[in-house]
Amino acid sequence: MGSSFGTLFRISTFGESHGGAVGVVVDGCPPRLAIGLDEIQRDLDRRRPGQSRLTTPRQEADRVEIVSGMFEGLTLGTPIAMLVRNEDARSSSYEAMKDIYRPSHADYTYEAKYGIRNWQGGGRASARETIGRVAAGAIARKLLAQRCGIEVVAFVQSVQDIEATVDPERVTLAQVESSPTRCPEPVAAAAMEERIDQARRNRDSLGGVVQCVARGVPAGLGEPVFDKLEADLAKAMMSLPASKGFEIGSGFGGTRMTGSSHNDAFLPGPNGRPMTASNRSGGVQGGISNGASIVIRVAFKPTATISQPQTTVNRDNQAVTLEAEGRHDPCVLPRAVPIVEAMMCLTLADHYLRQQALLEPRR
């Protein structure tokens, strides 16, 4: 099972949605990185359930425990193991669905692959697995900030057909956190909140787009062929639950432009390094960062579990009607924001360390 991500800064997540705990092992983090438990908890609090009426009512404190790899507030250079205990799992809600394949879930495909599945909350296929990613991402975030001043901010750009006009170069964390939708544009945020709440009342769900920007990324991160920076970012984002699309820079919109209007012209920049007049490349050219901000977008489908009656089949391939129980988000977008940030941080931290290893023999 592919539960690991990264080359030098490598993480392996573990645990099931309704098991005893979920967590992560981080291997390759450099020693003597100062990070407090509160910094990791801050990102987990942004991801946790029960934040508002726009999210699942499951009540989990998601308090992180660091069980190895840290001493006196510093990383040791050894594997860092972190776990979060499950405290509010209600497995009985899934009892009636244990022999039924839920539409657009991993129930059938997981069972087709392994011949067995954990039907309690989806097991490893649950979005609760992302707790480990967010905890590890907080460490990667601190490494990037300390070593090269990189700042990563994500926000909800759209929900269904409601779209915010936001300059990713200027958006701040405070603006993002000012609304339960995590959309920094007030008018769009209010419309999104009402639309999500309406879907909840209708026992339905909605999808949308999360945009993420990494500012201060140095030129030179990424590889020119199979490990292109945007390729690894795409893998990172498309590994997230409910993700269905990835764009960087101009994305699909760039197909409607000409080369003369799309190209990012170079200009003399500070510190003897060139800069680009525009950023339609999204900060990556030829698979390698060019020093501009990295700007990506990730599309998330509507939450698969809804409370309306749906037609499906059971293990005996008999047609049945499913009325799903359990506690689920009417829209995953607000809670997806810190998860997208985490995967951006993890990808950049890995490529930063790979670049440092490449340059080491030159010194």
CA distance 75 to 36: 10
Asked if 149 and 216 touch (Cβ cutoff 8 Å), the reply is yes
Q: Are 326 and 93 in contact (CB under 8 A)?
A: yes
Determine the average pLDDT of the residues in 151-169. Answer: 97
| pLDDT at residue 1, rounded to an integer | 58
Residue 66 tokens read as 């660091």
Per-residue pLDDT of 216-266, as tens digits, reads 999 999 999 999 999 999 999 999 999 999 999 999 999 999 999 999 999
How many Å apart are CA 60 and CA 171, to the nearest integer?
Answer: 29
Question: pLDDT averaged over the chain?
Answer: 92
- Answer for the pair 354, 149: CB distance below 8 angstroms, yes or no: no
Which sign, positive or negative, has the C-alpha torsion 48, 53, 55, 56?
positive
- Supply the pLDDT for residue 74: 97
pLDDT given at position 59: 62
Place of tokens 């100062």: 34
Residue 216 Cα distances to 97, 268, 292, 334, angstroms: 48, 17, 7, 25
Report d(CA 314, CA 306) in Å as an integer: 18
Secondary structure of residue 128 in the 3-state scheme:
helix
Distances (CA, A) of 47 to 256, 311, 314, 333, 340: 36, 31, 33, 11, 10
Residue 109 is part of a domain; what is its CATH number? 3.60.150.10
| Segments forming the whole domain that contains residue 8 | 4-362
Res 327 pLDDT > 80: no
Q: In total, how many domains does the chain have?
A: 1
DSSP 3-state of 149: coil
pLDDT at 164 over 70: yes
Q: Which residues contact 196 (CB under 8 A, 6 or more apart)?
A: 54, 159, 181, 206, 330, 331
Lowest mean pLDDT among 48-52, 63-67, 237-241, 330-334: 48-52
Q: Which residue has the higher pLDDT, 273 or 341?
A: 341
Cβ contacts of 265 within 8 Å, gap of 6 or more: 276, 277, 278
Least-confidence region, from 155-159, 175-179, 272-276, 322-326: 322-326
Q: Return the top range by mean pLDDT from 51-65, 120-134, 141-155.
A: 141-155
Section 183-188 average pLDDT: 97
| Torsion angle, alpha carbons of 118, 321, 326, 17, to 10 | 20
Provide the residue type at 235 as one letter: K
Give the number of other Cβ atoms within 10 Å of residue 273's Cβ. Answer: 11
Number of other CB atoms surrounding residue 267 within 10 Å: 9
Share of the chain above pLDDT 90, in %: 77
Per-residue pLDDT tens for 104-142? 988 899 999 999 988 877 778 888 999 999 999 999 999
The answer on pLDDT for 360 being more than 80 is no
DSSP lists the bridge partners of residue 142 as: none
Q: What is the mean predicted confidence (pLDDT) over 1-25?
A: 92
Query: Residue 46 in contact with residue 60, Cβ under 8 Å?
Result: no
Cβ-based neighbour number of residue 131 at 10 Å: 27
Lookup: tokens for 314: 């059971």
Average pLDDT, integer, range 46-54: 76
Question: According to the model, what pLDDT value does residue 208 have?
Answer: 98
Helix boundaries (H) for the chain: 37-47, 107-114, 130-148, 173-176, 186-201, 229-238, 259-262, 333-359
Tell me what the mean pLDDT of segment 135-151 comes to. Answer: 97
**DSSP string over 74-102:** EE-SSPEEEEEE--S--GGGGGGGTTB--
Q: What is the percentage of the chain residues whose pLDDT exceeds 70?
A: 94
Compute the distance between CA of residue 6 and CA of residue 25 in angstroms, rounded to an integer: 12
Distance of CA 154 to the CA centre of its chain: 9
The residues near 64 (Cβ < 8 Å, ≥ 6 apart) are: 37, 40, 41, 44, 82, 83, 84, 135
pTM: 0.94
Q: Are 297 and 234 in contact (CB under 8 A)?
A: no
Say if residue 69's pLDDT is above 60. Answer: yes
